[in-house]
Amino acid sequence: MLKVLVVDDDSPIRRWLEYCIGQLEGFVLAGSAATGAQGVELYRRELPDIVITDIEMPGMSGLDMVAQIQAIRPAHVIILTSHDNFSYARTALQNGTAEYILKTEITLESMRELLCKAARTIRHNEDSTVGIEQGAKLLIRQLAIERTAEPPTRQELRRQGIALEDAPLAAGDLWSRNGQGLQEVRRLLEGGRMLINTRFVSLGYEHLLFVGNLRHAGALDELAAFYRQEAAGTGCVLGLSEAKPGLTALPNALREAQARCRLHFYEPERWVFLHDAVGRKAVRHAETSRMNFSKEMFARNYRGAIAIKEDVMQRIREERPTDLDGVKKLCASFCTILLHFATEQPEELDSRVEQIEQTVQGASTMLELEAAVEEIFDPFCRSVPQAEAYSPPIRDAIAYLQKHFREKITLGMVAQAVSFNPEYFSRLFARETGMNFSAFLNSLRMDQAVDLLEHSDKKVYEIAEEVGYSSLSYFSTAFKKSFGQTPAEYQALKRGK
């Protein structure tokens, strides 16, 4: 699968490109960004194979972004623009861009043609450059990432130019937030002489893995002390495995080093991690917590939902799970679910969701992650709506909704039922309930849908229709966004199938 990054400040165009990539076999979306600066950050983190970018964007232009990412690592770039001025194309081509196409010419088929052409070019270049160095990188990456990877033999390592002996060894993971300083630290470690037969390989832009045999029994502690003294100020974190007896433990050594390196997320004041206990890999009961949070929100038990979020955050602080992507994904899901309820202006929802997802993903410490989450939750927590505090018109409106939510219902109909101007009613409803009208109506429908999925034998399409959704597809999409599962998957889980 080839990874594709999309960068365009036009949200509808960006969503269309995301859709196209999702429809094409052999390609996967690495991420999408609305600005050149966000594009560079995503590129550093994901190292995609193909970049599709607009030219004119707020701040950094697409052409400036292309120049920066090509300096990080050459990529196959497709410039997407509404300009047909050849000077743009000429500048783009000078910056290493492979393709240039007008937005008006983009269709699913033209995207298929462009991406398939890019794939052929990339594979041709890979075939012509794969050698011993590339083989070493692929092998070490496989051992580090794949849980089922078999330990290599000495002969297999030799074929890839790795000189490790079947003797005491260790692994290390160097991390830098922006990739800077890694090569400087590599030179320091190579000159330290605590390890022999050392091999360094990059894992993405921010990580540099290494393996080596130990010169003597205390080499790792000596290496850690050397690092504290010589590498201070480089901005690089070092995670070291324990000493391992030989090649059979090499995959475990690599995973242990990576896990220790990630402890910096919880202890940002430290830069070397050796002999530290490694916590759980993933957050306990993550999917259950997410589903229960959604369920409480749809039932409008806001204090219960907040308590679930607080319990999860406390577990993360105490258990320090090393799957940081999973931790961030779970925290982002809490925020996005809350935003679907609490954003007063629906047209602002997409931009706010995109912003918080990028902020959470970019957090490099637990403190930064907590600050991002609390920025979303604090205003809601301070004004958790209480039904007894609703004004009579809002109580009447809620009663009307509870009676008619299964029908085709609009804000104007409810406003008329309580004798209010629709615009004023919309503002008053959001202010008192803490939810916009659409989110409140959806919460009534989803709450009933969950009850039917758990306690009835009805088919999913029957439930969708019964609770007021005219489209099964829309119901399934909305349900999965909130619960992380389709209605059918949720139903099967609750029934123990």
Mean pLDDT of 61-79: 82
pLDDT score at 87: 55
For 301, the domain range is: 286-385
Q: pLDDT band for 99, please (50, 70, 90 cuts).
A: confident
Are 268 and 301 in the same domain?
Answer: no
Last residue of a domain, which of 385, 402, 436? 385
Nearest by Cα to 175 from 200, 203, 140:
203
Asked if residue 279 belongs to a domain, the reply is no
232: tokens are 């201070």
Residue 82 in this model has a pLDDT that exceeds 80: no
Are 142 and 263 in the same domain?
Answer: yes
Asked if residue 281 belongs to a domain, the reply is no
Between residues 97 and 186, the one the model is more confident about: 186
- Indicate the pairing of strand 272-273 with strand 236-240: parallel
Are 356 and 400 in the same domain?
Answer: no
Q: How far is CA 195 from CA 185, 216, 467, in A?
A: 14, 9, 65
Asked if residue 145 belongs to a domain, the reply is yes
Are 177 and 248 in the same domain?
Answer: yes
Are 123 and 9 in the same domain?
Answer: yes
Note the pLDDT tens digit of each residue in 165-190: 999 999 999 999 877 888 888 888 88
Are 378 and 421 in the same domain?
Answer: no
pLDDT score at 137: 78
Residue 90 in this model has a pLDDT that exceeds 60: no
Note the pLDDT tens digit of each residue in 123-156: 766 554 445 567 777 788 888 877 777 888 888 8
Asked if residue 139 belongs to a domain, the reply is yes
Answer whether 172's CB lies under 8 Å from 201's CB.
no
Asked if residue 278 belongs to a domain, the reply is no
Asked if residue 204 belongs to a domain, the reply is yes
Are 137 and 265 in the same domain?
Answer: yes
Between residues 493 and 473, the one the model is more confident about: 473
Tally of domains within the chain: 4
Q: In this structure, how many other beta carbons lie within 10 angstroms of the beta carbon of residue 384? A: 11
Note the pLDDT tens digit of each residue in 342-394: 776 767 778 888 889 889 988 999 999 999 999 999 888 876 666 566 888 88
Q: How far apart are CA 307 and CA 298, in angstroms?
A: 15
Are 167 and 54 in the same domain?
Answer: no
Last residue of a domain, which of 385, 413, 439? 385
Last residue of a domain, which of 129, 156, 173? 129
pLDDT score at 86: 46
Answer whether 415's CB lies under 8 Å from 425's CB.
yes
Q: In this structure, how many other beta carbons lie within 10 angstroms of the beta carbon of residue 4? A: 27
Are 140 and 155 in the same domain?
Answer: yes
3-state secondary structure the chain: CEEEEEECCCHHHHHHHHHHHHHCCCEEEEEEECCHHHHHHHHHHHCCCEEEECCCCCCCCHHHHHHHHHHHCCCEEEEEECCCCHHHHHHHHHCCCCEEEEHHHCCHHHHHHHHHHHHHHHHHHHHHHCCHHHHHHHHHHHHHHCCCCCCCCHHHHHHCCCCCCCCCEEEEEEEECCCCCHHHHHHHHHHHCCEEEEEEEEECCCEEEEEEEECCCCHHHHHHHHHHHHCCCCCEEEEECCCECCHHHHHHHHHHHHHHHHHHHCCCCCCEECCCCCCCCCCCCHHHHHHHHHHHHHCCCHHHHHHHHHHHHHHHHHHCCCCHHHHHHHHHHHHHHHHHHHCCCHHHHHHHHHHHHHHHHCCCCHHHHHHHHHHHHHHHHHCCCCHHHCCHHHHHHHHHHHHHCCCCCCHHHHHHHCCCCHHHHHHHHHHHHCCCHHHHHHHHHHHHHHHHHHHCCCCHHHHHHHCCCCCHHHHHHHHHHHHCCCHHHHHHHHCCC
Are 197 and 328 in the same domain?
Answer: no
Q: How far apart are CA 395 and CA 387, in angstroms?
A: 8
pLDDT score at 129: 43
Are 178 and 121 in the same domain?
Answer: no
Asked if residue 280 belongs to a domain, the reply is no
Least confident of 96-105, 289-298, 408-417, 459-468: 96-105
Q: How far apart are CA 294 and CA 439, in angstroms?
A: 12
Between residues 335 and 81, the one the model is more confident about: 335
Report yes or no on whether pTM surpasses 0.75: no
pLDDT score at 253: 95
Mean pLDDT of 42-51: 85
Residue 69 in this model has a pLDDT that exceeds 80: yes
Least confident of 198-207, 212-221, 264-273: 198-207
Q: What percent of the chain has pLDDT over 90?
A: 30
Note the pLDDT tens digit of each residue in 441-464: 888 888 888 889 888 888 899 999
Residue 474 in this model has a pLDDT that exceeds 50: yes
Asked if residue 231 belongs to a domain, the reply is yes
- Chain mean pLDDT for the chain: 85
Are 310 and 426 in the same domain?
Answer: no
User: Would residue 187 be called left, alpha or beta, if left means φ above 0 and alpha means ψ between -120 and 50 degrees?
Assistant: alpha
